[in-house]
Structure 1
């Protein structure tokens, strides 16, 4: 029997986990990985967390997977599903029996500033920001913006944050918690300019805002979210809806083509909606399962991903739908310092924010799986 040919487009955490998943079941098949970056697979979370707290840079490299042919600095440009081959930007073709699209996403960009703005996502972005000067302007007050602003401040930089929302992580946290975090950042020395937006970057490097401010900057970094990299899938005629649509076996509309990680859109039974998740747990867990499915395993994707963050000496873990537009119920042990925030839709818990509360992720997942209605949530977690 001929050895199976596996092709993975992407060389990030999802791709690495998929290669591991394949090798768990198929030690002989050929695995080729096409990666746009010039690096082998590495962990992304330390780029905005541990590396700024003294962890060495070489700790980010992920362990090698046996007999994987990594082609770095390559971008896939087309998928020929009929002939089962992918062409890259050097004109070379790569055949496959099973294909995984782990293409991730591209940072949302400002309509100005060009290459003077660091759109923080990659190891090279981290290295560039490390070389930056004393004054940093962080554009964006969400997940990445809040992390990198804290990291830069801990590194001794003079940090200014500017974003249109009323407070840091206002799209995720309840209004009172977002207000507390915003004040907390100011106490830590970060200049927080909420309710303002950048409009231009001057020749001096300063950031100009809609309110008329001019913010001196040696480094400008933007954390504005990502746009899923779906063009390859779209051009190949696969189903795409703000991500590549996959079923519970992580197959696209072509049963020989799989998708996983940031780019994959799936139906969540627990949340009762289609979602796309851009965090480490999803990348690793979904990637491994996709690899196993490619190798012939019968799988069912029902995982509820979690994510986590460090904000100075505050920290949290979160499960499910963390959206401030939902109804929220807070159960504080110490107000804004330790407790749990529940997010409800249709009288059912859809998300749990574990604020400086640890070891409760599995219990939070179990709560999300309950049918509801959820009336009295005080004291439900931790347990």
Structure 2
């Protein structure tokens, strides 16, 4: 679908009031997206596991306004309490998506959202949060325009979510989502995420992700700033080419279940992401000493046990442990005996690959 396809013809009906409720999961990129152009267009394609337990649940209640002016009419609640801190980001999102959702200024919206993971845990909630909000808005549009197809609904939801947070477009579907134009993937696009279209070995359909919470709270440098620092970065083009090649290699990995190659690519991608941060100008480091300690313990564990545990990192200090389901008990013992000491307050979250967003 093209960008112009996401503008519907004039609505045939309108609603006085109603509501929509969706949950959307977080996701963890295996091939990383780092660097973007205007309108949240990625500098390279990426692919991610959609998670199950770490998700945002959002309800949007709407009621027709008596007076329509130039401002959006919003009430924003987080975990049941009015939270105006989120309002500017949502207003910015509304301004970006209004050309595709012309009803936004016709209603008062009460947006109530909550996370299944602690807000201060250091897990990015922008992907799951913007995906859930985009789905609610699409639900409202489908109530107004009921002949909308599922393909259009989910494609446009991913397209809209991208305009709020780039990686949010990968939180609509699952278990594997690809985003960004890639020469080996037909129908891939920079505009929205697509369900990974090729064969996926059974081992990856039940993959586990345990998130070690090394550092809770805000990052010292936001992802938005980090993406911008890729402009003019000395190694930017080489990094974009590396991601392109790695995604190509992952096609065979996903098909054959080659976990050794999976580990090699995924860990290299994680370290390359942070290498870009450390070599930008200005440079910065989001890993913490305990992040490095955990990585070294993982490498020691793999060498001594032959286990297939590996790590990936997002743009922060926390460590995602990725491993096959049949190693779940052994990895849990390893975490509790050796890795929990490196987690803030001993906290970690057990998750797994999931199927995407759900209507509540």
TM-score category of the 2 structures, normalised to the smaller one:
under 0.3
The structure that is strand-richer by fraction is 1
Higher relative contact order (CA 8 A, sep 6+): 2
The structure that is helix-richer by fraction is 2
Superposition TM-score, scaled by structure 2 size = 0.26
Superposition TM-score, scaled by structure 1 size = 0.25
